[in-house]
Structure 1
Amino acid sequence: MPETRAGGDPLLQKLMVPLAIWVVFTAVGAVFLSIGASRQVALERTSPAYHVTSPTPASPGYFGVVPNWDGNWYESIADGGYPATLPVDGQGVVQQNEWAFYPAYPMVVRGVMAATGMRFAPSAWIVSLLFGAMAMVALFNLVRFRMGTWGAGALVACVMAYVTAPVLQVAYTEGLALLLVVLFIGAVRRRLLGQAVGIAVLLSLTRPIALPLGVVLGAVLFHDWLTQRRTTSGPRFPVRDVAATAAVLATAALWPLIAWAVTGRRDAFFETQAAWPVNSNGLGGWVGDMLRFTPVGILAIVVVVYLALVCLRPGSRRWGQELRLWSVVYPLYLFLASRPSPSMLRYLMLAIAPLWPFPGLGFTYLRGVRWAPPLVLGVLIAIGLVAQYFWVTSFFIVSGDLSHRPFP
């Protein structure tokens, strides 16, 4: 698809196209959540499913499931903040507590609650919807110049049809994190290093993904330096570039340092993380499973091979250097720095670009078979929506045996 200049495009293409796609898929996700809500069991503070901040009856309705799972922790943070002293059991082992969850999202929700007087669930819903909508608009305009309107719309549609995309309308951080990642990539693309560092600070208070951000920035700037070296004689040492990259990487320590300052325990954040069974046995579990060829490891290998095939082929250049690099570095970071859990599906949504693996497929390709691109897109969307329904009703909704629950 031929490239079009952003300045000549009407507001319809820049704003209304991604918002229309967002509205349609958000409505479908809301239907799935409402159907699932009719099957949810009653949750009490003593329920063995997970931490329950606000008990809900059986079949609590749409807003009754908005704070499910991590949403209950965010509600606790929005209502009461973080504990000054870590909770421990009789042996002095740190128990699960709010310090495992980053503050940006619940603090925004807290502001909406204070401004409107609404309860947590509708406030979190509004915040998540706004961040999700802004993320889709930002993503559409990030790739539209290279991929064209149709290709950019296809990417937005595939992100919204992704298996875990309904979290963009519940009390989770995905919408805010996705928006900030897209803005960071846009800042790096324009080489606005101060802006990139500022966005990285916000992200370090939203999700623990500062390290892949720094790798992407450092790799892009290093490539610039090498290019300059080949075209000019004696380039100066890129002090500003190195400082910006170091600053982004350093933001990874921001939240653990804050936890230390408030609680007085140097290991407050890390001991809190270890209180969750999935984090208690160290890092690198995916790599071990891949080396042992366990079922989970084979699935991880398939994902890695898929990412390599999609992101390294020439057609993926239409994503742009920065987004293409992020789509490789971020998933590899996840596999290296986390252990196998159902949450990996949700984490991979932030990889963004590989969710529409055909960036060069548009109406100007495959002459005589113009139905092929929309057919391919339609098949991917259909598969995604079926997977969404299963994920919502089998993972996000709490039903059945509460003591053995897969978590989203």
Structure 2
Amino acid sequence: MRFELTEEQKMVVEMARDFAEKEIAPTVEYDDEHHLYRPEITKKMAELGLLGFAIKEEYGGNGMGFMEGVLAFEEISAVHAAWRLPLNMQAWGPAYTIQRYGTEKQKQEFIEKFVTAEYTGSFAITEPNSGSDVVSMNTTAVDKGDYFELNGQKMWISNGHVTDWGLVYAMTDKAARYKGMTCFLVNYKWEGVTANPIHTKFGLHAAPTSEVVFENVKVPKEYVLGQVGQGFPICMWQLNNTRLGCALAGVGIALASLRASIQYANERTQFGKKIGAYQLIQEQIVEIHLLHHAARMACLEAGYLKDHNLPNQLQTSTAKLAAAHAAVTGANLCMKIHGSYGYSTEYPCGRLLRDAKSMEILEGTSNIQTGIIAGILLGDAPNRSTNDV
């Protein structure tokens, strides 16, 4: 793994930073306060090729891999963590999973439309009573001959009420548990699909989140992704990719906390000196830096391994866990450094801390990541690669 960026990678970083500063930064606080999602930003990301990382060029991809996606979305997340969402909802969730498991017809029909944001995407796994225990989900899909009848309720679904097409995981054989789950491609405009926005979130206010209900939804069999009963391994494979995208939000929050803390420490004067001259403030800034750097390097390593089809589940879960810790600790220290002003909406500390807490929950809690890491380290499970089912 090279530590020096290529010229192409440097251009990706510069482009992403410039995009975030021009298109996202001007309305960050307003969007957060008003829970405002701006679909035009996703469209502009697509126009710049920011939703094509790890997608083959024949399906509309940008010719670059996970590494470049890590570099780009760290910069975007540092401006507003909510905007790492399109990377997962368009590219590393639906598009990349279809690229791996879809029929050629499905690939031709869907992948480029997700990459160009013609379709707004999502994936629906979590339910009101089923989070970490995926196979306990109650959403069912019953074989009716020419189609499957989908019934159930999903909860905390990112992009739910703005979705055109999304991946939906359901049980086709509840008794078979891990071998009884199937993944479907579902049009959210079909009869029987209802998506209701959730407005009570603690953070990530600019990222749309929903409850989605399926009532007797007819899903033609051509929209089964992979094989019937293959949904659990597909789900785990997909999460091993989207968890890296989720980790980038944490890395971005840590970077934003570091930048804000350095700026404030160089401006604020107490007892006749800039507060950055005091050792306790220096120690806090250095801790944010260390956590950010460790999480960032973990993400880059996971991206590199994915690009080279090498075992990476250990590294991906490590990146997710490290990024969550860096985000929460970094944002908390940022608030401390700002003192009373950190508690004010005049500064970004409160938003950073609210957004950071989600990193310990989304797409596999920190407890789940700890379990995955421990299982691999202790020899109870293999360290799977991108090509493994």
State TM-score, norm by structure 2.
Answer: 0.27
State TM-score, norm by structure 1.
Answer: 0.26
Structure with the largest fraction of strand: 2
Structure with the largest fraction of helix: 1
